[in-house]
Amino acid sequence: MSVNVKQLAAEKAVEYVQDGMKVGLGTGSTAYWAIRKLGERVREGLNITAVATSQASEDQARELGIPLVAFGEIDHLDLTIDGADELDSRLQLIKGGGGALLREKIVAMGSTRMIVVADESKAVNTLGKFPLPVEIVPFAWEWTVAKLEKLGCRPELRRSGDKLYRTDNGNYIADCHFGAIASAPVLAEQLQGISGVVDHGLFIGIASMAIIGKQDGSIEIIEGETDL
């Protein structure tokens, strides 16, 4: 019987959620399982409040009866559980394959802890095989894309059918094919220096722990410097 490795990792992460916590809900097919499990625990009496990183996750949480709170009502979160497209052993991440990177970064950076949940295919030695999603404003996007190209990548504007893809914030995503990224912090700084770039999918120094589900049914945990 094949193991659902995403579910395995996600459900392990939910064990870290305690009564009274304010929780950030990630986005994607792995975070989906964490939200599902949280819904189960809420039905069993767990008392939490949550914010979501995408419309899809918000809808799922609402359906499951997870109490959602407005950002104006809280000033921080205790724990965020979210997926990743790639992660390395230093807990540097590429996120945004599902287009939610900006909201995900705002929520993760407002959290005391962030647990990344992933299957083993996401764990890499060097980030960059997965094209780096960069959220850009539609205004003068051609100029922004040209500047991205100058950083040494092949940017590809994400499409949704015959239209350009729009994020939940109304922006475009440029998927930037860099190949192996020599220094994620240096690249992050370069990206932040481009006007027109809203944010990018490099998460550096944000995750506190990664829980990686494996096909043999085991789980690998990588702990960062900010421990749980």
Ligand X SMILES: O=C[C@H](O)[C@H](O)[C@H](O)COP(=O)(O)O
Gap between the Cα atoms of 124 and 46, Å rounded:
35
Q: Is 29 near ligand X (CB under 6 A)?
A: yes
* Residue whose CB is less far from ligand X, 10 or 148: 10
- Partnered with residue 164 across adjacent β-strands are 159
Cβ 165 to ligand X, closest distance in Å? Answer: 11
Q: Which two tokens stand for residue 18?
A: 């305690």
- Name the residue number minimizing CB distance to ligand X: 28
Does 30 show up as a binding residue in the annotation?
A: yes
Does 19 show up as a binding residue in the annotation?
A: no
Contact 172, 128 (CB under 8 A): no
* Residue whose CB is less far from ligand X, 20 or 156: 156
Binding mask 2-21 for ligand X (x = CB under 6 A): --------------------
Q: Is 103 near ligand X (CB under 6 A)?
A: no
Q: Is 100 near ligand X (CB under 6 A)?
A: yes
Contact 81, 95 (CB under 8 A): no
Stretch that binds ligand X, among 25-33, 156-164, 172-180, 214-222 (CB under 6 A): 25-33
Q: Is 28 near ligand X (CB under 6 A)?
A: yes
Q: Is 135 near ligand X (CB under 6 A)?
A: no
Does 28 show up as a binding residue in the annotation?
A: yes
Q: Which two tokens stand for residue 54?
A: 């995408």
Q: Which two tokens stand for residue 135?
A: 């959220």
User: Residue 87 region, left (φ>0) first, then alpha (ψ -120 to 50), else beta?
Assistant: beta
Stretch that binds ligand X, among 22-30, 38-46, 178-186, 187-195 (CB under 6 A): 22-30
Work out whether strand 209-213 and strand 163-164 pair parallel, antiparallel, or are unpaired. unpaired
Gap between the Cα atoms of 208 and 223, Å rounded:
6
Query: Minimal CA–CA distance to 108: which of 184, 10, 206?
Result: 206
Query: From the candidates 11, 58, 86, 104, which is the catalytic residue?
Result: 104
| No. of helices (H) and no. of strands (E), the chain | 6, 15
Binding mask 48-87 for ligand X (x = CB under 6 A): ----------------------------------xxxx--
CA distances from 103 to 62, 72, 123, 161 (A): 18, 15, 23, 23
Q: Is 24 near ligand X (CB under 6 A)?
A: no
Q: Is 97 near ligand X (CB under 6 A)?
A: yes
Residue 223 known to be catalytic = no
Residues forming contacts to ligand X in the complex (CB under 6 A) are 26-31, 82-85, 95-101, 104
**Residue ranges of the binding site for substrate:** 27-30, 82-85, 95-98, 122
